[in-house]
Amino acid sequence: MTIPQSLITPTPAHLAWADCEIGVIIHHDVQVYEPTYHFRKQWGYSPSPAVFNPASLDTDQWLATAASAGAKYAVLVAKHCSGFSLWPTKAHEYSVAASPWRGGKGDVVKDFFTSCERFGIQPGLYASASCNGYLGVDNPGRPRTGKPEDQLNYNDIVMRQLTELWTNYGKVFEIWFDGGVLPVEQGGPDIASLLRKLQPDSVVFQGPPGCNLLRWVGNERGEAPDPCWATTKVLTGDDGTKERIDTAGDPDGPIWAPAESDMPNRDAHLAFQGGWFWRKDDEPHLHSVGHLLECYHTSVGRNSNLLLGMVIDDRGLVPDADCAQFAGLGKAVRDKYGSPLASGSGTGKVVEVKLPAPAMIDSVAIMEDIRTGERIRAYTIEAQTPGGRRQVATGTAVGHKKIDRFAPVEAKAVRVTITRSVAAPAWRSVEVFGERR
C-alpha cells in the first residue's frame, strides 16, 4: 500500500510497544525503609545504604504479579530521585553494593531481567537523569551548586551509569526518563548518542529527539484525552507533579510519539509519595478493580498504553492485597474483551461485522494497521437493530486501538464507516462485545 509522503509512520519498536497495551512500573527505594526521607526537603542528607535489607526480595513474584494483570512489559525504577542505585554501579558508592542485602553482592536489575525472560515480559528501565538527591541534583538535571565543574562531573556519572544499565543486562524494551533529559546545548550529557550506540531499538519515554519517542499523557490518572493521536507537535519533559492539557497529539504532527498513560495502583492523594511507593497500612488506598478497568478504557481504549504502578514492600515483595488487585484487573479485561461476539476486517471505507446471532452489544473496538500511519480521521459506528440501523458511536482518532462504549442495544450486525481519512483506510480489525447468551 502506498504511503503518502506527508504521513508519519511508527518504527518497529513503536509497533511492538503498542501491541503490549499494558505495562507495569516498579518502584523500590530507600524511603520504603526510612519513610520520613524526602530528597527535596533534606538536601545534603541521604539514608544510609544499610537501611536497604529486604529479607525476601523475589523478582519472580513481581513479574508473576505483572503477568496476572496482563502486562506485557515492565519498567524497573533502577534509580529514583534518592540516587540509591539498585545495581552495583561503579560510578559512586551509593548502591546495593554498600548495603547488607545479600552481603553487598546482590543486583536487583540482574534479577529483574532474569525474571522478565522467565515470564515472557519485555524489560524496561527507569534511571532518572534529572534528579539525584545523593549528588545534589534537581530538575532539569543541574547540580544545585551551579558550578560548571560539578555539571561536568554529574554528566560523567550519568553516562557511566546509563552505559552500565544499557550494556550489562541485555536488550532494554523501554527506557524511561522521568523529567526528561537536559539537552546537550544546555550543558547536559549526550544521552542521544549513547542511546543510538547501545540501545537503538528501545522506545524512550521523554527521551532526547531522534529516538523512538513516547510522550507523557499529561496526568498520572491513567486517562488519555479523546481524541489521542500518536503523532504530535508537542514533546514533554515533565516529572508528573503538574498536569498539562496539551498532550492530545495532532493528526498532522511531524513526530510519531504515542502517549503512555502512567498511574499508581493506589490513590495518589492518600497513599505514600503519590501512591508510587509502599508504606505500611496503605492497603485501604488501593484502587478498586473496577476503577482500574475504567482506566484501561480511558488509556488502551484511547490509543495509549496503560502503565500501572507496582509497589514493593519492605520484605521485597508485592503486597498480597496488591497481588489480588493486579490479578483482578487481568481477569476483568479478559472477561470483557478476551472473546468478542464477532470480529472482522476489510478494505475501503466501510467494514460490516455480522454476529452469529442477535445479541445485546455495548462496545466496539477498532484497530488501524498503523504500519501505514494514522489514516482514519473520523468514523461512525452503526448497529443493525430489530428497528433498523442505528448510530451508536462516532469518533476521530483510532490508531492502535479505540474502544467505543454505548448503552446496550440488540443487534445482529455492526457497520463502521470512515467518514474522513488521509489516503485509503488501513484496517486491522473490528471487534464487537456484549452479553453472551
Query: Residue 381 maps to which CATH number?
Result: 2.60.120.260
Length of the chain: 437
Across the range 146-175, mean pLDDT stands at: 98
Do 221 and 293 lie in a common domain? Answer: yes
Question: Where is the domain boundary, 280, 315, 337?
Answer: 337
Q: Is residue 20 a part of any domain in this protein?
A: yes
Nearest by Cα to 180 from 151, 222, 208: 208
The residues near 190 (Cβ < 8 Å, ≥ 6 apart) are 159, 184
pLDDT tens for each residue of 416-429: 999 999 999 999 99
Q: Which residues are paired to 56 by β-bridges?
A: none
- Map residue 293 onto helix, strand or coil: helix
Q: Is the pLDDT of residue 5 over 80?
A: no
Q: Whole-model pTM? A: 0.97
CA–CA–CA angle 29, 166, 193 (5° rounding): 120
What is residue 139's predicted lDDT score, i.e. its pLDDT? 86
Q: Is residue 4 a part of any domain in this protein?
A: no
Strand blocks (E) in 100-248: 122-127, 137-138, 142-143, 174-176, 203-205, 212-216, 231-232
Do 136 and 233 lie in a common domain? Answer: yes
Q: Is the pLDDT of residue 437 over 90?
A: no
Across the range 349-370, mean pLDDT stands at: 98
Alpha helix positions (H), 168-229: 191-198
Helix (H) or strand (E) holding 419: strand 402-421
Nearest by Cα to 192 from 177, 178, 179: 177
Joined together, the cell numbers standing for residue 142 give 543541574
Q: Which residues are paired to 175 by β-bridges?
A: 125, 204
Do 226 and 166 lie in a common domain? Answer: yes
Question: Where is the domain boundary, 321, 337, 353?
Answer: 337
Do 300 and 165 lie in a common domain? Answer: yes
Do 296 and 354 lie in a common domain? Answer: no
What DSSP designation does 302 have? B
Q: Is residue 351 a part of any domain in this protein?
A: yes
Across the range 256-284, mean pLDDT stands at: 98
| 253 contacts 213 by C-beta, under 8 angstroms | no
The residues near 365 (Cβ < 8 Å, ≥ 6 apart) are 301, 337, 340, 401, 402, 403, 404, 429, 430, 431, 433
For residue 68, is it left (φ>0), alpha (ψ between -120 and 50) or beta?
alpha
Do 20 and 91 lie in a common domain? Answer: yes
Alpha carbon separation from 427 to 18, 46, 365 (Å, rounded): 16, 54, 12
Q: Is residue 193 a part of any domain in this protein?
A: yes
Question: Where is the domain boundary, 337, 357, 391?
Answer: 337
Q: Is the pLDDT of residue 2 over 60?
A: no
Do 350 and 251 lie in a common domain? Answer: no
d(CA 32, CA 158): 24
Do 179 and 275 lie in a common domain? Answer: yes
The residues near 370 (Cβ < 8 Å, ≥ 6 apart) are 9, 10, 15, 18, 230, 399, 400, 426, 428
Q: Is residue 198 a part of any domain in this protein?
A: yes
pLDDT tens for each residue of 281-311: 999 999 999 999 999 999 999 999 999 999 9
Joined together, the cell numbers standing for residue 164 give 552500565
The domain that holds 308 is classified in CATH as 3.20.20.80
**Amino acid, single-letter form, for residue 407:** A
What is residue 378's predicted lDDT score, i.e. its pLDDT? 98
Number of domains composing the chain: 2
Do 98 and 220 lie in a common domain? Answer: yes
Do 380 and 359 lie in a common domain? Answer: yes
Q: Is residue 83 a part of any domain in this protein?
A: yes
Its domain, for residue 408, covers 345-434
154 phi/psi in degrees, rounded to 5: -65, -45
Do 289 and 371 lie in a common domain? Answer: no
Across the range 207-219, mean pLDDT stands at: 95
Q: Is the pLDDT of residue 112 over 60?
A: yes
d(CA 404, CA 385): 18
- Map residue 242 onto helix, strand or coil: coil
Do 34 and 175 lie in a common domain? Answer: yes
Q: Is the pLDDT of residue 383 over 80?
A: yes
269 C-beta neighbours (distance < 10 Å), count = 8
